C-alpha cells in the first residue's frame, strides 16, 4: 500500500529502466513524471565550475577503472582529476591506524595530507548538552563541526571521511568547505561493512532488522 505521507519512489521500483530508457516504467516513475522545472534547475547546477569538474572526473574514473580499483585507489584518481593538492582526513579515533595508513597511501601519491580526529578539542559530552548516560562509551564528545572548521582553516581541496559516527558524519559534510568523499563508513558490528546487513536482510539478519 502506498505510504499516506510519502508517494512511491525509486526504492519501490522493480525495473530500474532509467538505466537504459528502452522499456516501460511504473506509473509512479520519477523520470516519466518529472517536474521539468526541477530538472532544469539540477542541470543548470551541473554547469557550475566545481560541479561540472566533479561530475566529469567521477565519470572518467568510473569509465577508466570500472571494477578494477579499490575505493581508496579511486579516491586518488578522482583527486588527481580534481587537481587537489591538499587532502583532509576526518577520522574517528577508533580508526586512527586505518587513517594513518590512508595518509601514507595518499602521500605516496604526492598529496599533502592533514588529518583531524573526532575527539579534537577534548570537550565533555555534557558541555554540549548530551545526556550524562552517554558517557558510558566515553566522556568526551566527538566534534565533527570542529573537524570541518580545522580542515577549512588549513585550506584542504578535498576531504575524506574515515569512520565518523552516524550523524557526526552528517554535520561534517554540512560544515566542510571542500567537497567530501567517504573512504570508510562505520559499522562496529559488521567490521565497517554496513551493506552486509542488507545482503542478509532476508536471511540471518531478518529478525534483527524487521522484528
Tens of pLDDT, residues 182-197:
999 999 999 999 999 9
171, HSE (Cβ side, Cα atoms, 13 Å): 13
Is the overall model pTM greater than 0.95, yes or no?
A: no
Cα–Cα distance between 24 and 47 in angstroms, integer? Answer: 30
Residues with Cβ within 8 Å of 29's Cβ and at least 6 positions away in sequence, in order, are: 13, 18
- Long-range CB pairs of 76-84 (<8 Å, 24+ gap) are 76/105, 76/106, 76/109, 76/111, 78/158, 78/181, 79/106, 79/111, 79/157, 79/158, 80/109, 81/53, 81/56, 81/57, 82/53, 82/54, 82/57, 82/157, 82/158, 82/179, 83/157, 84/111, 84/157, 84/158
Strands (E), 59-111: 86-91
pLDDT attached to residue 125: 96
pLDDT attached to residue 3: 46
Note whether 160 and 87 are within 8 A (CB): yes
Mean pLDDT, rounded, for 139-149:
98
Cα–Cα distance between 166 and 60 in angstroms, integer? Answer: 30
Top-confidence residue, 11 or 102? 102
Most confident of 28-37, 165-174, 194-203: 165-174
pLDDT attached to residue 6: 67
pLDDT attached to residue 4: 52
Mean pLDDT, rounded, for 121-136:
96
pLDDT attached to residue 1: 37
pLDDT attached to residue 33: 87
Residue 2 has pLDDT above 50, yes or no: no
Amino acid at each position: 500500500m502506498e505510504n499516506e505521507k510519502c508517494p512511491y519512489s525509486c526504492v519501490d521500483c522493480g525495473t530500474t529502466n532509467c538505466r537504459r530508457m528502452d522499456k516501460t516504467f511504473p506509473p509512479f516513475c520519477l523520470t516519466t513524471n518529472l517536474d521539468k522545472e526541477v530538472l532544469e534547475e539540477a542541470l543548470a547546477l551541473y554547469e557550475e565550475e566545481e560541479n561540472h569538474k566533479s561530475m566529469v572526473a567521477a565519470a572518467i574514473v568510473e569509465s577508466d577503472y570500472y571494477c578494477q580499483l579499490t575505493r581508496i585507489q579511486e579516491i586518488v584518481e578522482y583527486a588527481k582529476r580534481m587537481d587537489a593538492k591538499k587532502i583532509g582526513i576526518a577520522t574517528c579515533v577508533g580508526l586512527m591506524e586505518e587513517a594513518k595508513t590512508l595518509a601514507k597511501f595518499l602521500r605516496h601519491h604526492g598529496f599533502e595530507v592533514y588529518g583531524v580526529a573526532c575527539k579534537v578539542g577534548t570537550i565533555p559530552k555534557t558541555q554540549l548538552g548530551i545526556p550524562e548516560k552517554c558517557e558510558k562509551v566515553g566522556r568526551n564528545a566527538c566534534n565533527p563541526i570542529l573537524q570541518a572548521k580545522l580542515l577549512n582553516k588549513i585550506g584542504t581541496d578535498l576531504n575524506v571521511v574515515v569512520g565518523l559516527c552516524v550523524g557526526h558524519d552528517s554535520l561534517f559534510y554540512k560544515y566542510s568547505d571542500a567537497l567530501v568523499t567517504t573512504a570508510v563508513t562505520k559499522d562496529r558490528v559488521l567490521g565497517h561493512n554496513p551493506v552486509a546487513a542488507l545482503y542478509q536482510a532476508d536471511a540471518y539478519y531478518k529478525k534483527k532488522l524487521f522484528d
